[in-house]
Amino acid sequence: MAQRRAPVKQRAPSAAPTEDFDFLASQQSSGSDDQACVGLPSFLYALSSLHILISVSLGSIQVEIAHQLMASREKKRKEHEKRFFQVAKNRLTAEISAATDDVRSTVETTEKAYAKFILNYAALEDIIRALWMEIKKEEQTLIGYRRQEIAKKQHAANDPIRTAMETTGYAALGQIKESCHAGRQVVDTLMPPAV
């Protein structure tokens, strides 16, 4: 940032008496302008020397005051910047802390919700598994009943066939028995009985 300097105002030289110039002696008048003109160059020389001396003194004082003023302004500027940076740091720290707390609370809330979701999900999975097991048991029961019903229906449908087979089988066994009996009679008649 560029430093601006105010224009230095020149002060009017003070009319303090100095040792080199006798102010009262220059005020005495003898009534002659010639005599005033003779003393005039020495007066002007003294006055210009005094002015240079005062100007140099005032200039060095003004420079010193300007340096002190600039140093004071620089010090105030640095103090102002230091306070500004401290306030900014404090605000930034507060904002970061608040944001960190918000993030932390959001993470905690999310983790709690997720844990609750996992527990509910596991409970629902257990309920669903129990329902599937019950459905499977009912299915097995129904399959068993269905098989029994099918077996009964088949048994009922096969009853006439079985009865017919039994009667035919008995008849066939009777015929076989008679054939065997007839065959034995033939063998007995062809072979004499052994004595």
Per the domain annotation, does 41 fall within a domain? yes
Per the domain annotation, does 6 fall within a domain? no
Range of the domain at 89: 36-122
Per the domain annotation, does 159 fall within a domain? no
Instruction: Count the domains in the chain.
Output: 1
Contact by Cβ (8 Å): 50, 21? yes
Per the domain annotation, does 48 fall within a domain? yes
Per the domain annotation, does 149 fall within a domain? no
Measured CA to CA, the distance from residue 154 to residue 160 in angstroms comes to: 11
Per the domain annotation, does 134 fall within a domain? no
Measured CA to CA, the distance from residue 185 to residue 72 in angstroms comes to: 158
Contact by Cβ (8 Å): 37, 5? no
pLDDT at 131: 95
Per the domain annotation, does 81 fall within a domain? yes
Q: Is 160 exposed, middle or buried (0-12, 13-18, 19+ CB in 10 A)?
A: exposed
Per the domain annotation, does 100 fall within a domain? yes
Each residue's pLDDT expressed in tens, for the chain with a length of 195 residues: 455 555 555 554 444 444 444 444 444 545 444 444 445 666 666 667 666 666 666 667 777 887 888 888 889 999 999 999 999 999 999 999 999 999 999 999 999 999 999 999 999 999 999 999 999 999 888 888 888 888 888 888 888 888 888 899 888 888 998 888 888 888 888 876 666
